[in-house]
């Protein structure tokens, strides 16, 4: 049974949060990037997080935000981890004195040495997230990158690496067995429609991870 760390991202409804917590996922992601169909507003944070979280962490996702945007979300007092999905510099990510996760979009032409070099710049990150590169959507595309790129990374990197991009209940077990990441992150792979999660798929994904 796999103890791989699990994050479910882009949750917008209270029942989605409740199911994720009930399943026992390690983290839920709230998106604060207005162009995304999965985005929420600051005023919705308390409305969504009404249940006892039982150790599930709350991650706030940003794409090239201003300092004021991040600080406004942090002022809710409900955020455990920041996720930066744009071109944010390490100094910016570190400056909030909150643990952070840095996402890196992986292109087909990128080799493992380049990935590791980029991740080295963010060595202060608690976690790294490898996702399929998309200049417009910045994640949640439902498309996988070449997992052999992630599998070839050093063991030291994989101790902090979260795998994302095109994961779903059917392929997550294979992804874990091939890449052996610290964790996995899913959004579109557990949706009934873009921006609305499917409770059955959420359960199937969790079970798929634990069976790996």
Condensed to tens digits (0 to 9), the pLDDT of residues 159-206 reads 999 999 889 999 999 999 999 999 999 999 999 999 999 999 999 999
138 has a pLDDT exceeding 90: no
Sign for the pseudo-dihedral over CA of 26, 207, 141, 153:
positive
- Hey, which CATH number is domain 5-211, 3.40.50.960, 3.30.300.30, 3.30.70.141, 3.20.20.70? 3.20.20.70
pTM score, whole prediction: 0.92
103 has a pLDDT exceeding 70: yes
- For this structure, is 9 an active site residue? yes
Task: Report d(CA 209, CA 189) in Å as an integer.
Answer: 13
Range 48-75 burial, b when 16+ CB lie within 10 A, else e: bbeeebeebbbbbbbbebeeebbeebee
Condensed to tens digits (0 to 9), the pLDDT of residues 16-34 reads 999 999 999 999 999 999 9
> Quick one: 3 exposed, middle or buried, by C-beta within 10 A (0-12, 13-18, 19+)?
exposed
Cβ atoms of 34 and 42 within 8 Å: the answer is: no
- Average pLDDT, stretch 50-66? 97
Question: Closest Cα partner for 10 from 85, 64, 104, 107?
Answer: 85
Task: Report d(CA 82, CA 60) in Å as an integer.
Answer: 5
Distances in whole angstroms, Cα of residue 143 to Cα of each of 14, 184, 188, 198: 27, 14, 9, 18
Condensed to tens digits (0 to 9), the pLDDT of residues 110-135 reads 778 888 888 889 999 999 999 875 65
Low-confidence winner among 84-98, 102-116, 160-174 (lowest mean pLDDT) = 102-116
Task: Report d(CA 1, CA 202) in Å as an integer.
Answer: 18
* Residue-level pLDDT at 105: 80
- For this structure, is 185 an active site residue? no
Task: Delimit the domains of the chain by residue range.
Answer: 5-211
Secondary element (H or E) of residue 189: none
* Residue-level pLDDT at 108: 67
Q: What is the mean pLDDT of the chain?
A: 91
- The better pLDDT of the pair 57, 147 is held by 57
Cβ atoms of 10 and 31 within 8 Å: the answer is: yes
Distances in whole angstroms, Cα of residue 50 to Cα of each of 117, 189, 210: 41, 25, 27
The catalytic position among 93, 131, 137, 185 is 131
Percent of the chain with pLDDT over 70: 93
Q: Which residues contact 51 (CB under 8 A, 6 or more apart)?
A: 14, 17, 18, 21
């Amino acid at each position: 049974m796999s103890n791989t760390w699990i994050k479910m991202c882009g949750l917008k409804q209270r029942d989605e949060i409740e199911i994720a917590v009930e399943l026992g996922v390690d983290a839920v992601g709230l998106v604060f990037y207005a162009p995304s169909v999965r985005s929420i507003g600051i005023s919705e944070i308390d409305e969504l997080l009404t249940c006892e979280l039982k150790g599930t962490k709350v991650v706030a996702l940003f794409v090239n935000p201003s300092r004021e945007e991040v600080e406004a979300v942090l002022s809710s007092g409900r955020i455990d981890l920041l996720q930066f999905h744009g071109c944010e510099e390490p100094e910016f990510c570190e400056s909030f004195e909150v643990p952070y996760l840095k996402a890196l979009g992986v292109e087909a032409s990128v080799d493992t040495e380049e990935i590791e070099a980029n991740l080295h710049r963010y060595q202060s990150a608690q976690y790294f997230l490898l996702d399929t590169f998309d200049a417009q959507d910045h994640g949640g595309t439902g498309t996988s990158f070449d997992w052999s790129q992630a599998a070839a990374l050093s063991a030291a990197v994989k101790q902090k690496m979260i795998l994302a991009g095109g994961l779903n209940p059917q392929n997550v077990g294979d992804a874990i067995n091939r890449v052996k990441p610290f964790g996995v992150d899913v959004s579109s792979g557990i949706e009934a429609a873009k921006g609305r999660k499917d409770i059955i798929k959420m359960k199937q994904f969790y079970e798929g991870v634990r069976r790996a």
